[in-house]
Amino acid sequence: MRVNTFVDAQNNLATAEKAIARYQQVLDLNSNTDQKINSAKGIAYLYLNLKRWDDARKYYQMVSGLDPNDSEAPYSLGVIDWTQCYQPRMEARVRLDMKPDKRLNAKKPAPKKLCNELRARKWTVIEDGIDKLDRAIQLRPDYDDAMAYMNLMYRERADLECTDLSARDQDLKTADEWIDKAMAARKANAKKADGPR
């Protein structure tokens, strides 16, 4: 039996829009802070899954405003920043038929021009992502997923070090350090979850 994915997608979208409207009603009412936080998280999560980045960002920022100690909101904002940098960079690399191990800051004119264009458009997004992920890790020092994304953000930054190869090398070194931290935290978290033996 063949499933009509378009109809399924339309039904999912309609369900998501209804859920967003319900959550928004809670936000519009004189709700308590916990209810507002849960509703804002619900809306943000749905928008995140719909790839409506600006809408998701707005509601995750609302969560951070309502609860500055929530580590999930800055983590999610960091993930959005990474997504908004990674996708255009990968699409541009494909257009130039660049292999994964080739640097954007190569001496050839096309990759160098692309590097400078992407840097102009995405550098502040990368820096914001690093700041947000750093905040999430400050709030939750064992946040292995945030550490893994920190690794990815530094790799994004490294690929946009258009002229400074030592800065690129330092970013890659920092990325490697973050992946090591993420793996160690993940292992420690798994051990905690298993409990004493």
Q: What's the pLDDT tens digit per position in 110-125?
A: 677 888 899 999 999 9
Q: In the chain, what percentage of residues exceed pLDDT 70?
A: 89
User: pTM here?
Assistant: 0.87
Kindly list the domain boundaries of the chain, sorted by start residue: 1-70, 71-197
| Residue 104: closest CA among 41, 150, 155 | 155
Is the domain spanning 71-197 CATH 1.25.40? The answer is yes
> Residue 2: is its pLDDT beyond 60?
no
The fold of 1-70 is 1.25.40
SS (H, E, C) 57-112: HHHHHHHHHHCCCCCHHHHHHHHHHHHHHHHHHHHHHHHCCCCCCCCCCCCCHHHH
Burial of 147 (0-12, 13-18, 19+ CB in 10 A): buried
Q: What's the pLDDT tens digit per position in 41-94?
A: 999 999 999 999 999 999 999 999 999 999 999 999 999 999 999 999 888 888
- Comparing 1-70 with 71-197, is the CATH topology the same? yes
pLDDT of residue 197: 53
